[in-house]
Amino acid sequence: MPDLASIPFPPAYQVGPVSIQPATVLAPMAGVTDTVFRRLIRNQGGCGLIMTEFTSSHGVVSTRKAKKPNRNFRYLFFEPEEHPIACQLFGSDPEVMAEAARVCEERGFDIVDLNFGCPVNKVVKCNGGSGLLRDLPLLESILRKVRSAISIPLTCKFRAGWNDRELVAVRLAKIAQDCGLAAVALHPRTREQGYSGRADWTRIAEVKAAVQIPVIGNGDILTPEDAVRMQRETGCDAVMIGRAASHNPWIFRQIAEYLQLGSYFQPSERDRYEIMRTYYLMLEEHGEPDAIGKMKQFATYFTHGVRNGAKLRTEIYRATEVPQILDIVDSFFTAELEPARLEVA
Integer Cα distance of 196 and 184 in angstroms: 23
User: What does pLDDT average to in each consecutive run of 10 residues of the chain (345 residues)?
Assistant: 60 97 96 96 97 93 69 81 97 96 97 88 76 93 98 97 92 98 97 88 97 97 96 96 95 96 93 94 92 94 87 94 95 78 45
Greatest Cα-to-Cα distance within the chain, rounded to the nearest angstrom: 64
Give the pLDDT of residue 176: 98
Give the pLDDT of residue 75: 85
Burial of 173 (0-12, 13-18, 19+ CB in 10 A): buried
Q: Are 214 and 182 in contact (CB under 8 A)?
A: yes
Give the pLDDT of residue 67: 61
Does pTM surpass 0.85?
yes
Give the pLDDT of residue 304: 81
Interval 70-80: pLDDT, tens: 555 678 999 99
Give the pLDDT of residue 73: 67
Q: Catalytic annotation on 104? A: no
Give the pLDDT of residue 250: 97
For the four alpha carbons of 73, 76, 80 and 81, in that order, the dihedral sign comes to positive
Integer Cα distance of 55 and 320 in angstroms: 29
Spatial neighbors of 147 by CB under 8 A, at least 6 apart, are: 154, 179, 180, 181
Integer Cα distance of 231 and 275 in angstroms: 29
Give the pLDDT of residue 131: 86
Residue 15: CA atoms inside 13 Å, Cβ hemisphere, count?
Answer: 30
Give the pLDDT of residue 342: 42
Q: Are 23 and 10 in contact (CB under 8 A)?
A: yes
Residue 327: CA atoms inside 13 Å, Cβ hemisphere, count?
Answer: 6
Give the pLDDT of residue 261: 93
Integer Cα distance of 201 and 10 in angstroms: 18
Q: Exactly one of 47, 87, 104, 118 is catalytic; which is it?
A: 118
Q: Are 199 and 237 in contact (CB under 8 A)?
A: no
Integer Cα distance of 113 and 87 in angstroms: 6
Angle of CA points 186, 187, 188, to nearest 5°: 100
Give the pLDDT of residue 301: 92
Nearest to 87 by CA among 134, 147, 153: 153
Using alpha carbons, list the distances in angstroms from residue 186 to 70, 219, 337.
30, 8, 41
